[in-house]
Structure 1
Amino acid sequence: MKHLYVDPRKEEAPTRERKAHLTCLPKAKETKLHPTRPGGETASLFFVGTATTILEWEGMRVMTDPNFLHAGDHVSLGPGISAERITNPAVDLQDLPRIDAVLLSHYHGDHFDQKVEESLRRDIPIITTLHAKSCLQSKGQESFSEVHDLESFQSLMLDIETGSIRAGKKPGIKVTGMPGKHVKPGLLSTANNLLKAVPPSNGWMIELGYRSASDSESFENSYRIYISGDTLMVDELKEIHERYKDQSIDLMLIHLGGTTLPSPAVPLLMVTMDAKQGVELVQLIKPDVTIPIHYDDYNVFASPLSDFKTAVDEAELSSKVVYLDRKDEYKFKV
């Protein structure tokens, strides 16, 4: 297993992605708790918009798929394909507190936009795909220096220095790459491999836990979060169930929206799960709680959140799903 050590105390101040005086996330518009067992919350997930969330626990902050464009801004989603953002993020990038690391599911403008690419400090740790790593490190003097790629089921220990040691143990975050596919196998996949229009995509398994302060290889999981990333309901996802069927998955962040290219009006290719596939994934993974994200921020989404809510109700899974609007947070117990 790879190890990535991060000491936020050595971060220069001010950095390009934050103002020096900011020390905490903005106050949430609404706080959601576990639907049936609230109490004892020690961690939070703040929803910025699209697939951008900020996980905060034990003094550590990890951001997923940073996208901070505003309504009316455009991103490229492949040769000749652009998408317009139709919402605003819950917070602007420059108004964030310190971010310790970034999980980037894939190198697409709606997950890592041009303003983010210009603004993030070059040495921020980024965990991503091999394709995204090659893109982020091919920019000459503007290349990102701390990019780490994970293949499916390959793990990395994110060891963030917090100064928090209790009973000889310190907190850590284990990140494992999960399979995901924008394009199902077949003729379209073959064509995409040639055209390289839609990039490879990862999901993630994030484990919050503790390890011995004297043994970097030890790790005891206390809370497990699965992030689907941009994927369709493909056979590769069944291996996640097989590998974790005897282990609890406490929370799932599921990328929905039925992203359709080049647009919902010309539906040639769907590259993320719609409502039906989303419910199928909930039934496969069986997480304790599911939070849908990535569902309405761009004009390429063809399957609105209301479709997912209806499908969840019909599958009698409502007690297992928490819905967040931008600037809402979910607090949970680790």
Structure 2
Amino acid sequence: MKRLTIDPGTSGPPTKEHTYVPTEMPEAATTKVHPSNAEEDTNAKLMFVGTATTILEWEGMRILTDPNFLHAGDHVHLGPGVNATRLTDPAINLEELPRIDAILLSHYHEDHFDKVVGDKLKRSIPIITTPHAKNCLTSKGDDSFTAVHALDFFQSLTADVKTNKIQAGQKPSVKITGMPGKHIPPGPLSVANDILSAFDNGYRIYISGDTLMVDELKEIPERYKGRGIDLMLIHLGGTTIPSPKMPLLMVTMDANQGVQLMQLINPDVTIPIHFDDYDVFMSPLSDFKKAVKDAGLSDKIVYLDRKDQYNFKVRHSLQPARTVQ
């Protein structure tokens, strides 16, 4: 298993051009919890920034997922002949981003890793991603990123949090595992997209990435049988290409597929993301809310607006209940 040591105290500013980097998380518009994990001494948090961009914080370590800080009216290129326009602003600007210790990148598309982010991020920031994305990020000559770690399906990497605290004789750590997924339905254009998904250390977070509901996902609950998934961040939107006006191909889950994934994975809590930020999304959040209600799953959902924060409790690995891997 690969191992990465992260020192939150020395990870430095996330961008080349910052002169000041906030040390604390941005103030949330609203803070939410879920009855299944509503303890007073919550020790972890997740802020929804927009699209698939979130900030996860635990034990002094911060992980940024799928950084996209473009604004309404900005454009991204998603593939040959396919472009999209952003309809919303992110909860915070890139320049307001607090210290980030690592990036979890589900795949290399501009709505998940935009050009501004690619220009401004420190070349040395650790990025955990797919083999395809690693090749793209490390093939830029002198401007290449220098700490990119690739994971294929069910390969894992352990990120140690370097602190001076002793916690039951162990350093706190996060295990990140690549999960299967397909961004394009079966057919001539189909390619396996190595969705980077599980954030695990006893409290298990599954990030679906831009996948469709495909048979390969059935292996996930089999692998985690008897352990379970605590939190799922599900990418929705029913992204259609070339556009919703000409919906030839759907490449991310719509509302119905999202409910099917909830039923398959059966997480304690699901938070939908990636649902309304670009003009290629055809399935709005309102469709998902209705499908969830009709399926009787409303008590297993937390809905976050941009800049809302979800607080939860992560138990350390030596406690018999659950551990954070």
Query: Under TM normalisation by the shorter chain, which class is it?
Result: over 0.9
Q: 1:331 maps to what in 2?
A: 311
1:167 CA displacement:
2.8
Q: 1:304 maps to what in 2?
A: 284
Q: 1:261 maps to what in 2?
A: 241
Q: 1:153-191: CA deviations, max 9, x gaps?
A: 0000011323332231221110000001011222342xx
The reply on whether 1:295 has 2:275 as its aligned counterpart is: yes
1:13 CA displacement:
5.8
Please tell me whether the aligned partners of residues 201 and 231 of structure 1 are also in contact (alpha carbons under 8 angstroms): no
Q: 1:284 maps to what in 2?
A: 264
Q: 1:252 maps to what in 2?
A: 232
Q: How many residues end up aligned between the 2 structures?
A: 313
Q: 1:64 maps to what in 2?
A: 65
- The runs of 4+ residues in structure 1 deviating greater than 6 Å are none
- Secondary structure of the 1:9 match is coil
Please tell me whether the aligned partners of residues 43 and 57 of structure 1 are also in contact (alpha carbons under 8 angstroms): yes
Whole-angstrom CA distance in 2 between matches of 1:52 and 1:13:
18
Please tell me whether the aligned partners of residues 175 and 205 of structure 1 are also in contact (alpha carbons under 8 angstroms): yes
Q: 1:322 maps to what in 2?
A: 302
Uncovered stretches (5+) of structure 2, i.e. residues with no partner? 315-325
Q: 1:51-79: CA deviations, max 9, x gaps?
A: 00000011000010000000000000001
Q: 1:180-239: CA deviations, max 9, x gaps?
A: 1011222342xxx5xxxxx8341311113xxxxxxxxxxxx2x11000000000000000
% identical aligned pairs: 65
1:90 CA displacement:
0.4
Identify if the C-alpha distance between structure 1 residues 269 and 74 changes in structure 2 by more than 3 Å, giving closer, same or farther. Answer: same
Q: 2:118 maps to what in 1?
A: 117
1:1-150 alignment to 2 at 5 Å? 1-12=1-12, 15-16=15-16, 18-39=18-39, 40-150=41-151
1:35 CA displacement:
3.6
- Secondary structure of the 1:278 match is helix
Q: 2:193 maps to what in 1?
A: 200
1:306 CA displacement:
0.3
Please tell me whether the aligned partners of residues 56 and 63 of structure 2 are also in contact (alpha carbons under 8 angstroms): yes
Identify if the C-alpha distance between structure 1 residues 38 and 7 changes in structure 2 by more than 3 Å, giving closer, same or farther. Answer: closer
Q: 2:319 maps to what in 1?
A: none
Identify if the C-alpha distance between structure 1 residues 86 and 13 changes in structure 2 by more than 3 Å, giving closer, same or farther. Answer: closer
Q: 2:300 corresponds to which letter in structure 1?
A: K
Whole-angstrom CA distance in 1 between matches of 2:13 and 2:211:
37
Whole-angstrom CA distance in 1 between matches of 2:75 and 2:172:
39
Q: 2:299 corresponds to which letter in structure 1?
A: S
- Secondary structure of the 2:213 match is coil
Whole-angstrom CA distance in 1 between matches of 2:111 and 2:88:
12
Identify if the C-alpha distance between structure 1 residues 17 and 150 changes in structure 2 by more than 3 Å, giving closer, same or farther. Answer: farther
Q: Structure 2-normalised TM-score?
A: 0.93
Whole-angstrom CA distance in 2 between matches of 1:164 and 1:19:
30
Q: 1:223-280: CA deviations, max 9, x gaps?
A: 1100000000000000001111211211000000000001000001111000000000
Please tell me whether the aligned partners of residues 58 and 171 of structure 1 are also in contact (alpha carbons under 8 angstroms): yes
Identify if the C-alpha distance between structure 1 residues 18 and 246 changes in structure 2 by more than 3 Å, giving closer, same or farther. Answer: farther
Q: 2:101 corresponds to which letter in structure 1?
A: D
Whole-angstrom CA distance in 2 between matches of 1:14 and 1:37:
31
Q: 1:89-139: CA deviations, max 9, x gaps?
A: 000111111100001010000000000000100000001111110100111
1:160-199 alignment to 2 at 5 Å? 160-189=161-190
Identify if the C-alpha distance between structure 1 residues 255 and 17 changes in structure 2 by more than 3 Å, giving closer, same or farther. Answer: farther
Please tell me whether the aligned partners of residues 61 and 101 of structure 1 are also in contact (alpha carbons under 8 angstroms): yes
Quote the RMSD (CA, aligned, Å). Answer: 1.5
- Secondary structure of the 1:41 match is coil
Q: 1:241 maps to what in 2?
A: 221
Whole-angstrom CA distance in 1 between matches of 2:18 and 2:268:
34
